[in-house]
Structure 1
Amino acid sequence: MGPTASGKSAMALEIARRFPVEIIAVDSAQVYRYMDIGSAKPDKSTQAEIPHHLIDLINPDESYSAARFREDALLLMHEITAHGKVPLLVGGTMLYFKVLRQGLAMLPAADDAMREELEQLALKQGWPAMHAVLSQLDPVTAGRIQPNDSQRIQRALEVCYLTGKPMSEMLGQQQNTSFPFRVFNIALLPSERGVLHEHISQRFSVMLEAGLVDEVRTIREQFNVSGDMPSMRCVGYRQVCMYLDNEIDLERMREMGVFATRQLAKRQLTWLRSMNELRVFDCLDEQLSSQILRFIQEKRIFS
Structure 2
Amino acid sequence: MSSLPPAIFLMGPTAAGKTDLAIELAKTLSCELISVDSALIYRGMDIGTAKPSAELLEAFPHRLIDIREPEDSYSAAEFRSDALAAMAEITARGRVPLLVGGTMLYYKALLEGLADMPAADPKVRAELEAWAAAEGLEALHRELQRADPESAARIHPNDPQRLVRALEVYRVSGRSMTAHRQQQGASTAEQLPYTVAQLAIAPAQRHVLHARIAERFQLMVEQGFVEEVEALRRRAGLHAGLPSMRAVGYRQVWDYLDGTLDRAEMVERGIIATRQLAKRQFTWLRGWPELHWLDSLASDNLPRALKYLNSVSILN
Relative to the length of structure 2, the TM-score reads 0.88
Quote the offset at 1:294 in angstroms.
Answer: 3.2
Q: Which amino acid aligns with 2:210?
A: H
Superposition pairs of residues 135-150 of structure 1, within 5 angstroms: 135-143=145-153, 144-146=155-157, 149=160
Please point out which of 207, 215, 220 is paired with 2:233. Answer: 220
**CA distance, structure 2, for counterparts of residue 117 and residue 87 of structure 1:** 41
Query: Residue in 1 aligned with 2:246?
Result: 233
SS of the residue aligned with 1:275?
coil
**CA distance, structure 2, for counterparts of residue 250 and residue 275 of structure 1:** 38
Structure 1 residues 147, 265: closer, same or farther in 2, change over 3 A? closer
Superposition pairs of residues 57-72 of structure 1, within 5 angstroms: 57-72=67-82
Query: Residue in 1 aligned with 2:166?
Result: 156
Query: Could you list the runs of 5+ residues in structure 2 that have no partner in the other structure?
Result: 1-10
Structure 1 residues 244, 300: closer, same or farther in 2, change over 3 A? same
1:289 aligns with 2:302: yes
SS of the residue aligned with 1:186?
strand
Kept in 2, the 8 Å contact 1:138–1:167? The answer is yes
Query: Residue in 1 aligned with 2:4?
Result: none
Number of residues of Structure 1 aligned to a counterpart in Structure 2: 302
**CA distance, structure 1, for counterparts of residue 279 and residue 265 of structure 2:** 21
Quote the offset at 1:300 in angstroms.
Answer: 4.6
Query: Residue in 1 aligned with 2:37?
Result: 27
Cα root mean square deviation, aligned: 2.3
1:77 aligns with 2:87: yes
**Higher mean Cα deviation, 40-49 or 114-123?**
114-123
Structure 1 residues 125, 178: closer, same or farther in 2, change over 3 A? closer
Kept in 2, the 8 Å contact 1:159–1:167? The answer is yes
Q: Which amino acid aligns with 1:49?
A: A
Kept in 2, the 8 Å contact 1:128–1:148? The answer is no
Query: Residue in 2 aligned with 1:94?
Result: 104
Quote the offset at 1:242 in angstroms.
Answer: 0.7
**CA distance, structure 1, for counterparts of residue 38 and residue 285 of structure 2:** 17
Quote the offset at 1:209 in angstroms.
Answer: 1.1
**CA distance, structure 2, for counterparts of residue 232 and residue 115 of structure 1:** 16
1:262 aligns with 2:302: no
Quote the offset at 1:123 in angstroms.
Answer: 8.1
Q: Which amino acid aligns with 2:41?
A: V
Query: Residue in 2 aligned with 1:184?
Result: 197
Query: Residue in 2 aligned with 1:46?
Result: 56
Kept in 2, the 8 Å contact 1:2–1:272? The answer is yes
Relative to the length of structure 1, the TM-score reads 0.91
Please point out which of 214, 225, 229 is paired with 1:201. Answer: 214
Structure 1 residues 240, 115: closer, same or farther in 2, change over 3 A? closer
Quote the offset at 1:39 in angstroms.
Answer: 1.0
Query: Could you list the runs of 5+ residues in structure 1 that have no partner in the other structure?
Result: none
**Identical columns (%):** 47
**Higher mean Cα deviation, 269-278 or 101-110?**
101-110
